[in-house]
Every structure is written in C-alpha cells, then in structure tokens.
Structure 1
C-alpha cells in the first residue's frame, strides 16, 4: 500500500513540475489586436 502511495505522489509531483515548466517556458503571450465597434444610442 505504501508503495502505491509513493508512486501516486511521484506522478502528482511530476505533473506539477511539468505544469510549472510549461507556464515558465511555454508560449503564453496573448495575441493583441485593436478592435473597434460602433454603437448608436437611442436617447430620448
């Protein structure tokens, strides 16, 4: 049982390190573009 918990802990740690590595090294820059939208206001 202890062996199974150690293996599970290892995979959780490996997944966490992979997620942190992807967050720091991955291409996470947002694509920016200017958007304009015209509006007509119906004011009485």
Structure 2
C-alpha cells in the first residue's frame, strides 16, 4: 500500500514538472509594455 502511494506521489511530481515546463515554453509570460513620456524640468542656477 505504501509503495503505491509513493509511486503516485512520484507520478504527480513528474506530471507537475512537465506541466510547468509546458507553461514556461508555451505560455505568454511577457509583461504588457507601454511607452511612458513625462516632461522633466531641470533647474539651473
């Protein structure tokens, strides 16, 4: 009984790792980019 639980746990870990790799390679992990323009005033003495 304990051996079956260990095999199931190993199987779930491997399946989770494969899912993580698939998401990392196929998922869109890039953040949305926008241009930001803000005027800057420099005080000169």
TM-score, normalization: structure 2?
Answer: 0.69
Q: 2:35 — aligned with what?
A: 34
Unaligned runs of 5+ in 2: none
Unaligned runs of 5+ in 1: none
- How far apart are the structure 2 equivalents of 1:39 and 1:5? 62
Task: State yes or no: 1:10 paired with 2:11.
Answer: yes
- How far apart are the structure 1 equivalents of 2:35 and 2:17? 35
TM-score, normalization: structure 1?
Answer: 0.70
- How far apart are the structure 1 equivalents of 2:3 and 2:18? 22
- How far apart are the structure 2 equivalents of 1:38 and 1:13? 52
